[in-house]
Structure 1
Amino acid sequence: MKRRDFLTAGAGIVLAGLAGQPLRAAEAPRFSMFPEYRDHDPMVPVYVLPGNRALHRFFDTSPISPSGRYVALFRMPYEDHSPQPGDAGDVILVDLESGELRTIGRSRGWEVQVGANVQWGPTDEQLYFNDVDPATWQAFAVKMDPTTGARQRLDGTVFMVSPDGTQAVSHNLVKSKRAQVGYGAVVPDHLATRNVGPVADDGVFVTDTDTGRSRMLVSLKTIYEQAEPSLRISDPENYEYYCFQAKWNPQGSRILTTVQWSPLSGGERRRAVITMNADGSQIRTAVTPEQWAGGGHHINWCPDGVRLSMNLNTDDDRELELVTFRFDGADLRKVFEPGSGHPSFHPGGRYMVTDAYPGEQVAFGNGLVPIRLINTEKATCQDIIRINVSPVRGEFRVDAHPAWDRSGRYVTFNGWINDTRKVLVADLSRLVG
């Protein structure tokens, strides 16, 4: 059987319970069937989804399915030590009509921050996540139809699926830990070889989700040589280079990634935000290493697909501002200060939601952080929810990663409740209209 063909049930992913059940789009998600979160008097209704050791992927995709019927999450097998090669977690599905939680898959292709990168395509019949074949230690993505149980092994991995579901884009998830631990797929360490210089065999990859075929869209070498403004330095052979994260804009016309390089002898890394057309052309440096050196994190596309948002220190005051800028770095604008956490725009473009790290100035101490709703037109901010993410830092930290759903009504986020990871959903309809 070819890889692009649907896998059989014996391929290492266990399906439970959805096959044969017809899909009916829910009129409205029934989150009220779940326990309500009332700690610290939230300004909006907040519900705790079932499942311990659970997390939703990231702040740029919602785990709520396109119809609103399901929530797709990842359940870690443990929370007290680093993922080991071959250890499997669960892909789980919460049915918002019945309230039932089902395990629909298993994955060895996960790390602590984003799990197995579980995410929806454009319909409820397309769900994607990563896995690793323990016989070959090859990382790959799975395209799954949760309504039938059918699934397809893709040649490449997925960090984000295009809006139309036809392509998956990814950085090298096996080498991802060389850039930052928590976002890739774990294999034996000797297989995650280091990149010396801006290499020609690593970079940004795209996978055709129909045929399953994967190809390198652009290499690190190409980015290094063609990016404008230039990333060239005098001695690139003395640095390790990696791409880290890869994201489609909402229109599927452009991709962003970051490039990171660190001295082989040890020392501080340098970073830049890179954008390109969907075909890999027009490579632009949207944030230069000089701009990023003052501090910054968490880039995302704005709804128009032309601008990006980010936390960035623009005035050397040691505090971050929320800013936006064009894909080529032009027209940088300060949106709100202070910045924090993982900011993203409401689909309508007026509001932003973000969280905070426990050590940022807007946090409340001892692991308690806000979910912040920012009105960019009025330059106002409300701490609408307070959630404990634990005071732990590093690999095992719990990032809230608040993410808008497609309707712009619901925000899903992670928390730490009763000594385990939980996923919560907030209904912001009263505040955002």
Structure 2
Amino acid sequence: MQSVCLIFEKWEIRGERSIIIMSQGHPTAQAVTSGPGHHFFGYYDKCPWDASGRYMLGLETTFMDRPPTPDDTAVIGLIDTASDNRWEPIAETRAWNWQQGTMLRWLSSAPDRLIIYNDREEDRFISVIRDVRTGDTRKLPRPVYAVSHDGRLAVTLNFARLHRTSPGYGYAGLPDHWAEENCPDKDGIYWMDLTTGEERLIISLAQIVRIRPNPTMQGVEHWFNHLLFNSDDSRFLFLHRWRRPDGGWFTRMFTADPDGSNIYCVSDHEMVSHFDWRDERRILAWARRHEVGDRYFLFTDRADEREIIGEGVLTTDGHCSYSPDRHWILTDTYPDQEDMRSLLLYRPADGRRVDIGRFFSPSKLKGEIRCDLHPRWSRDGRKVCFDSAHEDSRQMYVVDVGKVISRP
């Protein structure tokens, strides 16, 4: 099925009901990968473009309709957008999943040639720094989850535990050494120096359970997920989750200094989903607050302050991120009753919403093998890359939004 790439504008007018206006000119999604292989990048909080804007990172697989096994590899490659999107394989990994790939990204210390990604080596998960020009590699003793903007540090977690607790986010192939413990005191979030490989546990699961505990935390399994540094690398954000009786999970959102100190609970009203840092202190997140329900909130770190973003306009959870200039929010939706996902932009300054595409989501791709759009910005903020399976193959697409974001 072909994508539907009409552009809509949705406005809030002086507190009245929102209206939707269809515009004549609209951007079109262009595939930058093609078969016979399947291609995707992964999560929404990383940029696939190198510093020049010419090369994009991606993953290639031979299948898309089942979870990866320990024996399945994904090929890491470069997309040369100046040479008819030529695919150039450069490495392989055995530590990957459909939702977040292999944590593949360019290192800001040399964003024109150095990349980092995760892999499995014998009895451990590791990360690899590779020079895409020379092929030189350097291995680090732990996989990475979030990497600081200066490319010097990483915070990470137990991907074997995550594989058990949140299928589609961890990696197959290794046992969780703390599987029998609900909240181990020797496992949790780890800090790692990307230059020396020095690493240590900085926040344990047992430690986080002791902070503002409640009865639902007793006798159930706990884990961490979704780590992200703020804009100046002075703090990082993480989610603490624990099992619900119905099989789902409760979530709290925390922040901490990179060494694990000064832990602060930002929100603990049962649910926090996707998020992004607005700046060094403010966090945009789809979350629940008992007094108003589920909304996009702009939280302030280490302060009991929050405001609703996009009331009546941004009404569902999505993979949200700020544009490089912080003027726009990019997000998406989960499939509606017609199995369509929307890709949209929102400008907080005036409440302007622009829907830049709707894409079919095959019903056979559900649960951990689903293909979320996971939209991510180019470095200059004028293009958006996303993953989609609307043409019966998992591929990467790019939309030019330069004209949209330039409108007054």
TM-score band w.r.t. shorter chain? 0.7 to 0.9
Alignment match, 2:327: 350
Residues 1:214 and 2:199 are matched in the alignment: yes
Unmatched 5+ stretches in structure 2: 8-25
The one-letter amino acid paired with 2:263 is I
Query: Match for 1:163: what amino acid?
Result: H
C-alpha displacement at 1:46, in angstroms?
A: 2.7
1:429 aligned residue (392, 402, 405): 402
Greater CA drift, 61-70 or 349-358: 61-70
Q: Give the corresponding residue for 1:83.
A: 68
Instruction: Give the structure 2 partner of residue 62 of structure 1.
Output: 47
Give the match for residue 280 of structure 2. 305
Secondary structure, in 3 states, of the residue corresponding to 1:144?
strand
Seq. identity, %? 25
Which consecutive segments of 4 or more residues in structure 1 shift more than 3 A?
37-42, 190-193, 233-237, 265-268, 313-318
Match of 1:157 among 143, 155, 177: 143
Q: Out of 212, 215, 220, which is 1:231 matched to?
A: 212
Q: Deviations over 1:201-226 (max 9, x none)?
A: 1111122111223222221223333x
Map 1:196-211 to 2 at 5 A.
Answer: 196-211=181-196
Amino acid at match of 1:101: W
Give 1:167's match in structure 2, choosing from 153, 168, 177.
153
- 2:43–2:101 Cα contact (<8 Å) kept: no
Residue 339 of structure 2 aligns with an amino acid whose one-letter code is G
- 1:237 CA drift (Å): 5.6
Match of 1:129 among 81, 105, 117: 117
Whether 1:241 aligns to 2:218 is no
Contact (CA 8 Å) 1:179, 1:260: kept in 2 or not?
no
2:270 paired with 1:292: yes
**Within the alignment, does 1:324 sit opposite 2:298 as a pair?**
yes
Q: Tell me the SS of whatever aligns to 1:175.
A: helix
Q: Which residue number corresponds to residue 260 of structure 1?
A: 241
Match of 2:16 in 1: none
Contact 1:196-1:239 within 8 A present in 2 as well: no
Q: Is the 8 A contact 2:229 2:236 kept in 1?
A: yes
Q: Per-residue deviation at 1:231?
A: 2.9
- Residue 267 of structure 2 corresponds to residue 282 of structure 1: no
Once residues 267 and 87 of structure 1 are traced to their aligned partners in structure 2, the CA distance between those partners, rounded to angstroms, is 28
Q: 1:38-49 to 2 correspondence within 5 Å? A: 39-41=4-6, 43-49=26-32
Q: CA deviation at 1:97?
A: 2.4
Distance 1:53 1:282 in 2: 43
Match of 1:8 in 2: none
C-alpha distance in structure 2 between counterparts of 1:171 and 1:177, whole Å = 11
Q: How far apart are 1:233 and its partner, in Å? A: 3.4
Going by fraction, where is strand more abundant, 1 or 2?
Answer: 2
For residue 255 of structure 1, report the CA deviation from its aligned partner.
0.8
Contact 2:32 2:81 in 1 (8 A): no
- CA drift at 1:39: 3.6
Contact 1:389 1:400 in 2 (8 A): no
Change (3 A) 1:48 1:328: same
Aligned partners of 1:57, 1:235: CA distance in 2, in Å?
32
In the superposition, relative to structure 1, how do residues 84 and 371 fare at CA in structure 2: closer, same or farther (>3 Å)?
same
CA offset at residue 262 of structure 1? 1.9
Q: Is the CA contact (8 Å cut-off) linking 1:208 and 1:214 kept in structure 2?
A: yes
Who is 1:374 aligned against?
346
| Structure 2: distance between partners of 1:315 and 1:231 | 17
In structure 1, distance between residues paired with 2:146 and 2:402: 27
Which of 57, 62, 73 is equivalent to 2:58? 73
Structure 1 residue 312, shift from structure 2 partner: 2.4
SS at match of 2:208: helix
- Closer/same/farther in 2, CA of residues 217 and 48 from structure 1, 3 Å limit: same
- Equivalent-residue separation in structure 1 for 2:247 and 2:166 (angstroms): 15
Deviation readout 1:117-136 (Å, 9 max, x if unpaired): 11111112221111112x32
* Larger relative contact order (CA 8 Å, sep ≥ 6): 2
Deviation at 1:268, TM superposition (A): 4.5
Distance 2:298 2:373 in 1: 22
Structure 1 residues 374 and 44, CA gap change in structure 2 (3 angstroms): same
Q: Distance in 2 between matches of 1:405 and 1:349?
A: 13
CA contact (8 A) 1:57 1:63 kept: no
Aligned positions, number: 378
User: Contact 1:117–1:130 at 8 Å: present in 2 too?
Assistant: yes
Provide the aligned C-alpha RMSD in A: 2.2
Aligned to 2:309: 335
Q: How far did residue 368 of structure 1 move? A: 1.4
Local SS of the residue matching 1:239: coil
Can you list the C-alpha shifts for 1:66-104, whole angstroms capped at 9, x where unaligned? 221210011233212221113211111101222321111
The DSSP-based 3-state class of the residue aligned with 1:74 is: strand
